[in-house]
Amino acid sequence: MGIINDAIGVPSSMSYVKHFGSLREAFALIGHKSPRDCDWIDSQQHWTDELAARATQVADALNR
């Protein structure tokens, strides 16, 4: 992100995130495929939601 943010005449990386959802999504739209495995990024929200649901279940059980 530093290269994008430091470039003159180029929108900031946050502009790309706001418009496209992520830098990876912006790059994908122009046909770029990262050589890195970024699947964990895509699953991060799922596991955050899962953890919150389990924490709620535990809290409910303790309150009963």
pLDDT along the chain (64 residues), means of 10: 90 93 90 85 87 97 95
Tell me, what's the pLDDT at 34?
Answer: 83
Tell me, what's the pLDDT at 1?
Answer: 73
- The 3-state DSSP composition of the chain as helix, strand, coil percent (nearest 5) reads 70, 0, 30
Question: In terms of residue numbers, what domain contains 9?
Answer: 2-63
Tell me, what's the pLDDT at 39?
Answer: 80
Output the CA torsion 18→43→38→23 (10° steps). 0
Tell me, what's the pLDDT at 55?
Answer: 97
Domain count, the chain: 1
The model's pTM is 0.54
